[in-house]
Amino acid sequence: MSHSTDPHSLSAPPTQDQLRGRLGQAGLRATRQRVVILESLLTLPGHPTAEQVHRRVVTQEPTISLGTVYKALDAFVAAGLTRRVASAEGASRRYDADCSEHHHLFCTNTQEIMDYCDPQLDHLIRDFFAARGLQNFQPHSFSLHITGVKRPD
């Protein structure tokens, strides 16, 4: 069984209190700037770049710099609120607000990154490494990055 998921379309946008709560639970101060940046990250479709987050944020907070957005996103990654995802070429960092275990499909034509979940694949990978083992290394999680071309619907 496999499917693509988009956590951004599953529920209503988070409230300011929910955003502050997420930041607090992650051990981060809920500054106005961080709240706006987190809200943008959670509501932008797909896996946005810092530049895309910044373009959205400045519509609400015109004085926020791109550097501030990068610092906030780095803090979110360190706190486990988001994770970095490399683009198909690895040139620009993209961010994924969905920290659950899943894989990514990269379309080389559109540069789109799609989430891909497949429990059977995950089971095969875990069994493979349990049988083979990695010398002096114990894997805790994994994420495949699969590059290809998205077929038209």
Query: Which residue ranges make up each domain of the chain?
Result: 13-99, 100-153
Long-range (24+ apart) CB contacts under 8 A made by 45-54 are 45/6, 45/8, 45/9, 46/6, 46/8, 46/112, 46/113, 47/85, 47/94, 47/95, 47/96, 47/104, 47/113, 48/94, 48/95, 49/92, 49/93, 49/94, 49/95, 50/93, 50/95, 51/92, 53/95
99 assigned to a ligand binding site: no
Q: Would you identify the CATH topology of the domain 13-99?
A: Arc Repressor Mutant, subunit A (1.10.10)
98 HSE (CA, 13 A, CB side)? 24
The pTM for the full model equals 0.72
Q: What is the pLDDT of residue 104?
A: 80
Write the single-letter amino acid at 148.
G
- Domain 100-153 falls in which CATH fold? Dna Ligase; domain 1 (3.30.1490)
Residue 87 binned pLDDT confidence (cut-offs 50, 70, 90): low
Please report the pLDDT score of residue 34 as a whole number.
95
Assess whether the region 13-99 and the region 100-153 belong to the same CATH fold: no
Q: Which helix (H) or strand (E) holds 106?
A: strand 103-107
Q: Decide if pLDDT at 6 tops 80.
A: no
pLDDT at 96 over 50: yes
pLDDT tens by residue, 21-72: 999 999 999 999 999 999 999 988 888 899 999 999 999 999 999 999 999 9
C-alpha 127/C-alpha 53 separation (Å) is 38
